[in-house]
Structure 1
């Protein structure tokens, strides 16, 4: 199996972590999607990463599709609950996390523009998306009833510090996982 992409992409790191968590061997092919000379387009007609090439020569692209394909392989541990509705709830959290990454990337691209051309409105819009999605995700993971509640306006830094202190205990366990701790000898970060 080959994973095509760049570890500068959070979506490539997401798939790498999934493969590492499941103990699936893969070859990493470092391709920059913005390099006109790259081979990404041969794996994904959209020219985006990640792309996955199976041992049978099948091509899969778009991180949610790749994640679903990997889950269909039946390799433990399973990442989705057996109950279809509970599995859909996990996929919704995945969509929130992907949205946070999209908003973060949009913000980085906006801030890379010359200062006179940057849109403060766009940066605030992306910040709002990241904040709302992160809080909704955290609430969903902690099983709170108000998971769709939108964050109230005010001091973002204070609210972020306050909310980080309220994250469910499970978040601290994430850094101890083999894929996050680098114990596998392959580190997606």
Structure 2
């Protein structure tokens, strides 16, 4: 298997953490810049986005929830995502919430990288408020995802890690001491330390 990634991609990090937690060792990580090297990616993922997994006879999967679900199915040990019932849909909801934090953070980063005259203070504020509401909700519901490692925990940890990595001028976790304590501990897992963004 080949996993197309960049070191700084939080979505790729979710997949890498999941693979490590599931004991999947036979993955070749291929570093690709979607903007600078589209010829390496677009024929595999027409959306031109990473991560993208190549497996089997040149089959592909893309979008981090799909790749993580595949790793969860083929890897070792207990499932990271409940397979059915209310527990399944509750975790899907949590994953969507935490991926939404990532989406908002990435939108801010993308806007900041534009020329100054193209920045949108209105949209940056809107995305920042979405991050803050997401973190608040995460702290309020943290007791529902604590326990054995899960897809939701990985998504939340990678979202917080990305916010702290790319938007470090603001202390996003200062109002959420319980959430910060949880993340500080989770970030010490070998899978998280091995995939820290560069």
1:8 equivalent in alignment to 2:21: no
Q: Give the TM-score normalised by the residue count of structure 2.
A: 0.77
Unmatched runs of 5 consecutive residues or more in structure 2? 146-169
Q: Distance in 1 between matches of 2:172 and 2:75?
A: 40
3-state secondary structure, aligned to 1:59 = strand
**Given the superposition, is the C-alpha separation of residues 140 and 29 from structure 1 closer, same or farther in structure 2, using an over 3 Å criterion?**
same
Q: What whole-Å deviation, never above 9, does each CA across 1:159-180 have from its counterpart, x for those lacking one?
A: 84132x1328643431231102
Q: Secondary structure at the match of 1:167?
A: helix
Other-structure match for 1:108: 109
In the alignment, is residue 50 of structure 1 matched against residue 45 of structure 2?
Answer: no
Q: Which residues of 2 match residues 81-96 of structure 1 at below 5 A?
A: 81-96=82-97
In structure 1, which of residues 174, 181, 187 is the aligned counterpart of residue 186 of structure 2? 174
In 2, Cα distance between equivalents of 1:161 and 1:8: 24
Q: Does 1:137 align with 2:138?
A: yes
Q: TM-score, normalised by structure 1?
A: 0.80
Please provide the CA RMSD for this pair: 2.4
Mind listing any 5+ residue stretches in structure 1 that lack a counterpart? 145-156
| Bigger Rg, which one | 1
2:175 equivalent in structure 1: 162
Question: Deviation of residue 36 (structure 1)?
Answer: 4.6
**How far off its partner does 1:158 sit?**
8.7
For the residue of structure 1 that corresponds to 2:82, the secondary structure is coil
Superposed CA offset, 1:83-122 (max 9, x none): 5311221121111121111111110111122223211111
**Structure with larger RCO (C-alpha < 8 A, sep 6+):** 2
Q: What secondary structure sits across from 1:43 in the alignment?
A: coil
Distance in 1 between the 2:104 and 2:71 partners? 25
The residue that corresponds to 2:150 in the other structure is none
